[in-house]
Amino acid sequence: MPYDDRLFTLLRGLDDKELRHIWVDCLKQCPEQKVFAQSSHEERVVWVSRVWRTEHGSFVRNVMRGEHEFPWKQILIDVADKLRPGLGWTPYTLNDAHSETELERVVLDLYDERLGEDWPQLTPEQQRQALHGRNPKSDKNWFSAAIGTVLPHDKSMAATLTLLTVYERRCWVASVQSQARGSSSCST
C-alpha cells in the first residue's frame, strides 16, 4: 500500500501551493522545514502523506506501523464518523465493499449537511475559511455545533476536507470544460 494508494494519487495532483497549504494550514507544520521547503514536488507529497497519517493514527500503533501504512480509507471512515450527525458510527469499515472514492463523496456530503442551512448566509470569505477547515464565524459555538468539532484542532479532518474540496472543485471545472467540448469529465 505505501506510495500507491489513493491519498498519494490525490496529493500528486496538487500543485506546490496547495501542498504547502495542507502542510502549513491544515497539518500545522513549519513551512521552512528543510524536509519540505527544499524538497521536490514528489518529496513534498511523501512528507505530507507521512505527517498526515502519523497525525491521524494513534501514537502506539504508529510505532509499529510503517510511515505510510495508515490506510486512506480508514482516514475517510474516521472523518465520516466525526461528521455524522447524532451518536454512533457510520456503517463503513475498512474491509467493506465501499471504495475510497465512494467514501470521499460521503465525507463531502456529510460536511455539506453539517454546514447545511448556514452556508448561504456565509460571506464568500467565511465560505472560503470553512472550506479550509477554519471557523468561518467569530461565534465558535456555531462552528462546533455545525461540525461537531473545531476543525483547527483536528488537523487530519481539516486536511481531508481541504484535499477533497480541491479535488471536487477541479472535477467540477473539468466537467464544465468537457461538456463544452463534448467529452468526459474528471478521472483521478
- Tell me the CB-side half-sphere exposure of residue 45, using CA atoms within 13 A: 17
Q: What is the mean pLDDT of the chain?
A: 78
If one compares 64 and 91, the residue with the highest pLDDT of the two is: 91
Whether 36 shows a pLDDT value over 90: the answer reads: no
Give the mean pLDDT of 107-118. 80
Q: How many CB atoms lie within 10 A of CB 24?
A: 15
pTM of the model: 0.75
Q: Which of 70, 55, 60 shows the shortest CA–CA distance to 152?
A: 55
Per-residue cell: 127 = 465560505
Per-residue cell: 83 = 461528521
If one compares 81 and 112, the residue with the highest pLDDT of the two is: 81
